[in-house]
Amino acid sequence: MIKKYEVNLTKHAQKDLERIFYYIAADSAENASAFILEIEEKVYSLEHLPNRNPLIPENEYFGTDYRHLIYKEYRIIYRVLENSVFVLRILQGAKLLEL
C-alpha cells in the first residue's frame, strides 16, 4: 500500500491561488474557476509519492530541501516533512523562489 501524506497549503500558497484566480477572472471567471480546480487537483496529488518531483534549483542558495511540481506555466513549491506535505508557494514558472 502506498503511504498517504497530509497536504497543507500555507497562507502564501492560498494567496497565490487567489491572485491566479483574479488574474484569469479578469478575462473569464469560468476559466479561472476551472484552472484553480486543475491546480488544486495537482496539489492534492502530492498526498501520494511527493518525493517523485525534483528538488528546486534554488536549494543550492538557500540550503533547503524544497521540491516543485510543474503544472502548465506554474511551479508548485513544497516541502515534505515526515507524513506531511507543506505547499509553500504557487508561482509562475519564470519566477524564482524568494525566502
Q: How far from each other are the two terminal CA atoms of the chain, in whole angstroms?
A: 36
Q: What is the DSSP string of 47-87?
A: GB-GGGSPBPTTHHHHT---EEEEETTEEEEEEEETTEEEE
CB atoms within 10 A of CB 1: 3
Task: Specify the pLDDT at position 13.
Answer: 97
| Whole-prediction pTM | 0.88
Digit-coded pLDDT (tens) for 21-40:
999 999 999 999 999 999 99
All residues at 6 or more sequence positions from 68 whose CB lies less than 8 Å from its CB, including other chains = 53, 54, 56, 75, 76, 77, 78
Specify the CATH number of the domain 6-92.
Answer: 3.30.2310.20
Across the chain, mean pLDDT equals 91
Question: What is the spatial distance between Cα 1 and Cα 51, in angstroms, rounded to a whole number?
Answer: 16
Return the higher-pLDDT residue of 34 and 98: 34
Domain boundaries, the chain: 6-92
Task: Specify the pLDDT at position 92.
Answer: 86
